Structure 1
Amino acid sequence: MTEIYLIRHGETAWSRSGRHTSVTDLDLTEIGVRQAESLKGRLDPAAFDLVLSSPRLRARRTAELAGFSADRVELCEDLVEWDYGDYEGVTSADIRAERPGWTIWTGDVPGGETAEQVRARLTRVIDRAAGSGLDRVLCFGHGHGLRAMTLCWLGLDFGLGDSFPLATGTVSVLAPYKGGRALSRWNSQL
């Protein structure tokens, strides 16, 4: 079974301040650039049979700075961040001020994607990777999207999403284990 490596993009101004960022196409901060560059040499491009990236600038730039040339990276629309709709650019704390107890994992997103829509597209990524017969697939993506992908891989309810915090510029690995699926590395700096 295929191992799927997940790389969350480096820090942006909005990820630093906790603002929900899906369609807003932000570049990396200086810290984000350093996070992405720190992956170079630790992730060998030759070790991956397929490299996918969200088409958003922050994910593509992380891939490039990590040593993956644009001709080696396939852009994958299914890897974009959860569409936050009316909550784009808003922090969870601000949302909870109006909707106590709200989380992306258990609440609705006015004007954005439903959990079912997110699950469907990230399951397509998993099905493509796991059904490919390839040894290792690398995905550059986003915080909520990669956490949702992990929950899909493990067959867990999205309500558990807050149990899997994911920092910027980190590496996680979804892997086979004893005939099933497991999380073999999470939130690693390598």
Structure 2
Amino acid sequence: MSKVELYFVRHGETEWNKEGRLQGWLNSSLTDYGREQVKALQHELQQLTFDAVYSSPLQRAVETAEILVSNTMQIKLDDRLKEIHLGSWQGRKISDIWDEDYDRYFAYCNEPQCYTPDSGESFLQVSARMTELLTDCLNQYKSGKILLITHGVAIRALLMNVLGLDCNQIWVFEEIDGASVTKLVAENNKITVQYIGKIINNHNFIEI
């Protein structure tokens, strides 16, 4: 019986997360706290044997991946795991965007089905590339465990498709925090979501 377990990890806290600055496809380093978050997760995940490790090529994700695998496995970079491209908002503080581009940012946060980027990507575009990545993984691996390091909106966009949700439901999940795990299981031609944005500790993820 084939069974593939996919562990989608959001990167640890970054300097721009602390500043309330949007990142998108731009780079920001992990904070010391972010590195500690990832080290705590690494301590728990080391009990598992992964068959492959994929990461977004953005700096914060790669740094997270390198801590998690500690040079024990090859990290395969895949652009489809990138965060949503936020166009002219990238690198800017959320407080400034609220003041200067209120209507669009309100739509982004509250009416995502109405959000139209000035450049960059829509939620549906992110969902499409994340779903394509998932499909490719399941075509390549018929069993085993896969670790994928990515970003908060990217994970939400994937879940939107896996769970059959409309675009306006992308924010229905609770916060997907830094160094949290969202686990999908593919078995018998069915994909189920075991947990979303879980902070792993005390080895309790093994029983789930």
Provide the TM-score with structure 2 as the length reference.
Answer: 0.81
User: Does 2:123 correspond to 1:115?
Assistant: yes
Question: 2: distance between equivalents of 1:135 and 1:154?
Answer: 22
Larger radius of gyration: 2
- Give me the identity figure in percent: 28
- Following superposition, the deviation at residue 136 of structure 1 comes to 1.6
**Other-structure match for 1:166:** 176
Structure 2: any 5+ residue segments left out of the alignment?
Answer: 201-208
What residue number does 2:191 align with? Answer: 181
The number of aligned residues is 190
Residues 31-110 of structure 1: pairs in structure 2 closer than 5 A: 31-44=33-46, 47-69=49-71, 71-92=73-94, 94-97=96-99, 98-99=102-103, 101-103=106-108, 105-106=112-113, 107-110=115-118
Distance across 2 between alignment mates of 1:92 and 1:151: 24
- Report the AA paired with residue 61 of structure 1: E
Distance 2:78 2:133 in 1: 8
| Residue correspondence of structure 1 range 148-167 to structure 2 within 5 A | 148-164=157-173, 165-167=175-177
Consecutive unaligned residues of structure 1, counting only runs of 5 or more, are none
8 Å CA contact retained: 2:124, 2:157: no
- The correspondence for 1:140, drawn from 136, 141, 149, is 149
Q: CA 1:175 to 1:93, structure 2 compared with 1: closer, same or farther past 3 Å?
A: farther
Q: Could you tell me how far apart the structure 2 residues matched to 1:65 and 1:167 are? A: 17
Q: Which moved more, 1:147-156 or 1:84-93?
A: 84-93
TM-superposition CA deviations, 1:1-20 (whole Å, max 9, x none): 42211100000022233322
Mapped to 1, the partners of 2:187 and 2:170 lie a distance apart of 21
Q: Deviations over 1:64-106 (max 9, x none)?
A: 1123428521001110110000111235554444217321633
Residues 87 and 110, structure 1, Cα contact 8 Å, conserved in 2: no
TM-score normalised according to structure 1 size: 0.88
| Separation in structure 2 between the aligned mates of residue 95 and residue 180 of structure 1, nearest angstrom | 41
